[in-house]
Amino acid sequence: MQSERFLIAQISDTHVRADDGGAAAKAMARAIAQAADYAVDLILLTGDLVNDARADEYAVLAAALQHPPAPIYLMPGNHDDRAQLRAHFPLARYLPMEGPLSYTIEDYPLRIVMLDQTVPGAVHGEITSAQADWLDQTLAAAPDRPTIVALHHPPFATHDLLFDKIGLHNGAAFAAVIARHPQVARVICGHHHRFAVGQAAHAPVVIAPSTSWAYGLALHDGQPIAPKTQEQPGWVLHAWTASGGLASHMIGL
Ligand SMILES: [Fe+2]
C-alpha cells in the first residue's frame, strides 16, 4: 500500500473455460497483469469465475490463479457451483464450508463484505431473509469502518430488457439493509458484462464489466437482447483514501 491509499482490482465474469484455447483465462491474466502494474493491494473476483461450473474449468482457473500479485478473494456467480469452487480452492479458508459463500475481509483499511446471493440452478439472484439478516448483523458489527459490499447480481434496475429479469429479484430488500448502515461507501457487482453505475440506498453501485465479452444494452422492444458487442471488456480499479473516499475507474483490456 502506497501511503494511506488502498487499491482494489475488481475482476468479474471471467467465464474461464477448458475448451476455448485458453482465451478467457488469458483475458483474466491480462487483467491481473494490469492490476499488478497498478500495484493493487487486493484483487476481488466477483463471480462467474468459470463458464459452465465444470471441474476442468475450475482446474484451469485454479492454475491461472496460483501466483497472484496480491491477495485474491473469490465469490460465485450464477455460472459457478459452490461445491466445485470450495473443492478447487482448498487454501481459500475464508470460504464457509457449507451454504452460501459469504464472508468478510477484515485486514485492510476498507472492510469488504462478500455476499453470495446466487440461487443454485438459477440465472437470477435473490437475497433470502437469512442472507439479509447475515448482511445486517455483519454490517452492524463494524459501524465505524468504511465498507464495500460485493455481490454478483446488480441490485438496481439497469433498464436492460434481459438483465432486469435476471438481476437481483429483490433489490429493495438489499437496499433496505444497506440503508441502515451509512458506513457502506460502495456496492460492487458484475453479471451484466458492461460497466454501469446505480444506487442502493445511499451507496453508489458499480457494475464491473466482464474480462471476456461485453453485452449490448437493450432498452426497447425489437432491440437485440444481450448481443455480444465489440464494446470494451475490462475490470474496475477502486482507489480509496480516508480523506477522499472511493474513486472507481474502468480499465479496458
Ligand atoms: Fe457473467
241 domain residue, yes or no: yes
Task: Residue 107: give the domain boundaries.
Answer: 6-252
Tell me the per-residue pLDDT of 19-51, one tens digit each, with 9 for 90 and over: 999 999 999 999 999 999 999 999 999 999 999
60 domain residue, yes or no: yes
Tell me the per-residue pLDDT of 174-191, one tens digit each, with 9 for 90 and over: 999 999 999 999 999 999
120 domain residue, yes or no: yes
In angstroms, rounded to a whole number, what is the distance separating the alpha carbons of residues 56 and 51?
11
- Looking at residue 109, what is its pLDDT? 95
Verdict on whether the full-model pTM lies above 0.95 = yes
Instruction: Tell me: pLDDT of 111 over 60.
Output: yes
- What is the 9 CA–ligand 1 centroid distance (Å)? 17
In angstroms, rounded to a whole number, what is the distance separating the alpha carbons of residues 7 and 5?
7
- What is the 90 CA–ligand 1 centroid distance (Å)? 24
Instruction: Give DSSP secondary structure letters for 163-203.
Output: TTTSSBTTHHHHHHHHHT-TTEEEEEE-SSSS-EEEEETTE
- What is the 163 CA–ligand 1 centroid distance (Å)? 11
- What is the 125 CA–ligand 1 centroid distance (Å)? 12
Instruction: Tell me: pLDDT of 73 over 60.
Output: yes
Q: What is the CATH number of the domain that holds 28?
A: 3.60.21.10
In angstroms, rounded to a whole number, what is the distance separating the alpha carbons of residues 46 and 231?
20
- What is the 87 CA–ligand 1 centroid distance (Å)? 21
- What is the 14 CA–ligand 1 centroid distance (Å)? 7
Question: For residue 27, with 0-12 CB atoms within 10 Å meaning exposed, 13-18 middle and 19 or more buried, which class applies?
Answer: buried
Tell me the per-residue pLDDT of 77-96, one tens digit each, with 9 for 90 and over: 999 999 999 999 999 999 99
Taking CA atoms, 245 is separated from 148, 189, 192, in Å, by 11, 19, 25
- Pair 182, 227: CB distance under 8 Å: no
Domain count, the chain: 1
Helix (H, G, I), strand (E, B) or coil at 208: coil
Position 106: which residue type?
A: E
1 domain residue, yes or no: no
Determine the average pLDDT of the residues in 110-130. 97
* Torsional sign, CA 57, 63, 64, 65: positive
202 domain residue, yes or no: yes
- What is the 184 CA–ligand 1 centroid distance (Å)? 25
Candidates 205, 120, 218; CA nearest to 164 is 218
**Which residue in this structure is represented by grid cell 464489466?**
209
Tell me the per-residue pLDDT of 139-179, one tens digit each, with 9 for 90 and over: 999 999 999 999 999 999 999 999 999 999 999 999 999 99
The pLDDT mean for the chain works out to 97
In angstroms, rounded to a whole number, what is the distance separating the alpha carbons of residues 176 and 129?
12
226 domain residue, yes or no: yes
